[in-house]
């Protein structure tokens, strides 16, 4: 068996699969993210009955961060300077109590979502894809040629310094920068700016959508200029706001203007910017894909029969 684990700021999704078919979930569980000790104990409880002979063939992890993803680093698998209370300097991999020698692949949660969508969801049929999430935090995962852009580090595009809207004086909520992209467009920033969550904006809805679209479109423009993906998948709780995705597409076309006159982003209906096809399973399916990629050659041959 192989295991995939997506650790998020509010929930952890775990799944197990047969290594011969990592796209089919044999079992899965949703666990609330509380303290590291309590959360990781619940993950271990889910995994234990599925471990054949006490071990898995491989484990893939897609984790919130910042997290050390470089397998050659001394603190590989550690969550580092996260603002999430209690999780700073948590050794995530050690906390799973895996059998010695278990192959482990680790990426950020948004890179895991990018892999999941690329292989099983909205990214099928393209080689290069970016998954952007706007929720509690803001981030982007990049897949180039069907694999993560890098396994040595990870992008932190949520902390881009962006052009502020002329009518916006909100100071931002990022604990590091204040008014970076995450500070101005994340879920917590919406609540702090408008005095109510994005699901309950009422008469403020139209203004909130226009302002959010202005900022999120700048992220998509940066991604387009820097990475040139064939498709961008946008997810996260903020993007579930009614009308926001359409407003982002329109704002992106206006923002880029004639700089990329023949690019599909100039047509909001082109399918360049799309929603996830896998819903809340994007990240865990990406984690399972990582586990499949980490299988030793002998295990792959055995699984193939």
Pick from 136, 165, 161: which is nearest to 238 by CA? Answer: 136
Compute the distance between CA of residue 160 and CA of residue 182 in angstroms, rounded to an integer: 8
Compute the distance between CA of residue 141 and CA of residue 304 in angstroms, rounded to an integer: 30
> Using one digit for the tens of pLDDT, what is the confidence trace for 156-192?
899 999 999 999 999 999 988 999 999 999 999 999 9
Residue 287 has pLDDT above 50, yes or no: yes
The chain-wide mean pLDDT, for the chain, equals: 92
Place of tokens 């948004």: 110
Which of helix, strand or coil describes residue 290? helix
> Using one digit for the tens of pLDDT, what is the confidence trace for 90-107?
999 999 999 999 999 999
Q: What percent of the chain has pLDDT over 70?
A: 97
> Using one digit for the tens of pLDDT, what is the confidence trace for 42-84?
999 999 999 999 999 999 999 998 899 999 999 999 999 887 8
Say how far residue 53 (Cα) sits from the centre of its chain. 32
- Kindly list the strands in the beta sheet with 11-17, ordered across the sheet, starting from the edge strand earlier in the chain: 27-32, 11-17, 2-7, 58-63, 104-108
Compute the distance between CA of residue 108 and CA of residue 127 in angstroms, rounded to an integer: 20
Residue 305 has pLDDT above 60, yes or no: no
> Using one digit for the tens of pLDDT, what is the confidence trace for 232-285?
999 999 999 999 999 999 999 999 988 998 999 999 999 999 999 999 899 999
Report CA-CA distances (Å) from 34 to 110, 112, 126: 20, 21, 37
pTM above threshold 0.95:
no
Pick from 227, 30, 216: which is nearest to 128 by CA? Answer: 227
Place of tokens 């078919």: 21
Place of tokens 């893939």: 60
CA dihedral 287, 293, 297, 298 (to 10 degrees): 20
Residue 297 has pLDDT above 90, yes or no: no
CA angle, residues 249, 136, 231, in degrees to nearest 5:
35
Residue 87 has pLDDT above 60, yes or no: yes
Alpha helices in 127-204 (DSSP H): 181-185, 187-194
Mean pLDDT calculated for residue range 4-18: 94
């Amino acid at each position: 068996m192989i295991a995939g684990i997506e650790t998020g700021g509010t929930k952890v999704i775990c799944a197990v699969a047969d290594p011969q078919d990592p796209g089919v979930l044999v079992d899965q569980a949703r666990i609330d993210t509380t303290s590291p000790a309590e959360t990781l104990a619940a993950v271990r409880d889910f995994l234990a009955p599925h471990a054949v002979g006490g071990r898995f063939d491989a484990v893939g992890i897609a984790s919130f961060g910042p997290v050390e993803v470089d397998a050659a680093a001394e603190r590989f698998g550690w969550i580092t300077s996260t603002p999430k209370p209690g999780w700073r300097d948590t050794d995530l991999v050690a906390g799973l109590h895996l059998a010695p020698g278990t192959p482990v692949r680790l990426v950020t949660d948004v890179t895991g979502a990018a892999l999941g969508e690329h292989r099983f969801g909205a990214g099928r049929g393209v080689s290069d894809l970016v998954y952007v999430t706007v929720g509690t935090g803001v981030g982007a995962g990049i897949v180039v040629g069907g694999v993560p852009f890098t396994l040595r580090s990870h992008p932190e595009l949520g902390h881009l310094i962006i052009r502020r809207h002329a009518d916006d004086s909100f100071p931002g909520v990022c604990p590091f920068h204040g008014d970076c992209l995450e500070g101005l467009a994340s879920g917590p920033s919406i609540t702090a700016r408008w005095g109510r969550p994005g699901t309950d904006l009422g008469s403020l809805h139209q203004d909130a959508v226009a302002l959010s679209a202005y900022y999120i479109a700048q992220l998509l423009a940066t991604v387009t200029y820097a990475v040139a993906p064939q498709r961008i998948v946008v997810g996260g709780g903020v993007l579930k706001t009614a009308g926001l995705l359409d407003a982002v597409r329109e704002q992106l076309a206006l923002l880029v203007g004639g700089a990329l006159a023949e690019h599909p982003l100039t047509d909001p209906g082109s399918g360049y910017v799309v929603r996830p096809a896998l819903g809340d399973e994007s990240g865990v399916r990406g984690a399972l894909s990582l586990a499949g990629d980490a299988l030793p050659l002998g295990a792959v041959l055995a699984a193939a029969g």
